[in-house]
Amino acid sequence: MLGKFFQKPGVEDSERVPPGQHLTKGFPVLTYGAAPQVSIDTWEFKVSGLATAKTFTWDDMMALPQHEFTADFHCVTRWSKLDVKWTGIKISDLMKLIEVDPKATHIMEHCYGGYTTNLPLVDFLKEENFLAFKLFNEPLPPEHGGPMRSIIPHLYAWKSAKWINGLEFLEREELGFWERNGYHTRGEPWAEERYS
């Protein structure tokens, strides 16, 4: 796509930048509270709720197929970053190892440090979603959620849980940290589902 090279950096590209967002060249860090220190040696990822309970270690995760991803990132505080390059594991590959009760309709992502964020199961299971452990080919920096975070490209970035350490399967919607504090339950950037 030749046209891309002639575009001035920072110019809002209406086809890719959702309404009310502006492009940022850097990659701001947005964390509520202190960033937890998480080591891969003791790292655990727990499946709970309406699914067969299971704990994955770092090595279990690294044994899954690894892919490179390019995704746009939209923070509800109105900055967007296009074409972020990640390396990670598809949620769909992880889900092949998780036995979910058919009654489950929603999930809660859990994190080291206590942050949570909720999603309808259908949004969570989108083929484009992944767990990232590298950012631009370097180990995911701790401030951006290293060693592992989720990336849910089609929703505002508060759904992309940094320092993720578990998934809880639910039979009804429950609210995560920001959702309890006034953010929209779903958070679709093209519909500007910012606050509820």
Segment 83 to 112, residues that bind ligand MTE, using CB under 6 A: 111
Candidates 90, 106, 110, 162; binder of ligand MTE (CB under 6 A) is 162
Min dist. Cβ of residue 75 to Mo ion (A) = 4
From candidates 153, 163, 168, 187, binder to ligand MTE by CB under 6 A: 163
- What are the start-end ranges of the H helices in the chain? 58-62, 91-95, 121-124, 177-180
| Of 20 and 28, CB closest to ligand MTE | 28
Please work out the total of residues on this chain that contact ligand MTE, with binding judged by CB under 6 A.
18
Task: Decide: is 113 part of the binding site for ligand MTE (CB under 6 A).
Answer: yes
The span from the CA of 151 to the CA of 190, in Å, is 17
HSE, side-chain direction, 13 A CA sphere, residue 139: 6
Query: Judged by CB, which is closer to ligand MTE: 51, or 164?
Result: 164
159 contacts 119 by C-beta, under 8 angstroms: yes
How many Cβ atoms from other residues are within 10 Å of residue 20's Cβ? Answer: 12
Cα separation, 63 vs 162, in Å, equals 21
Catalog residues that contact ligand MTE under the rule CB under 6 A: 27-32, 75, 111, 113, 115, 144-145, 157-158, 160-163
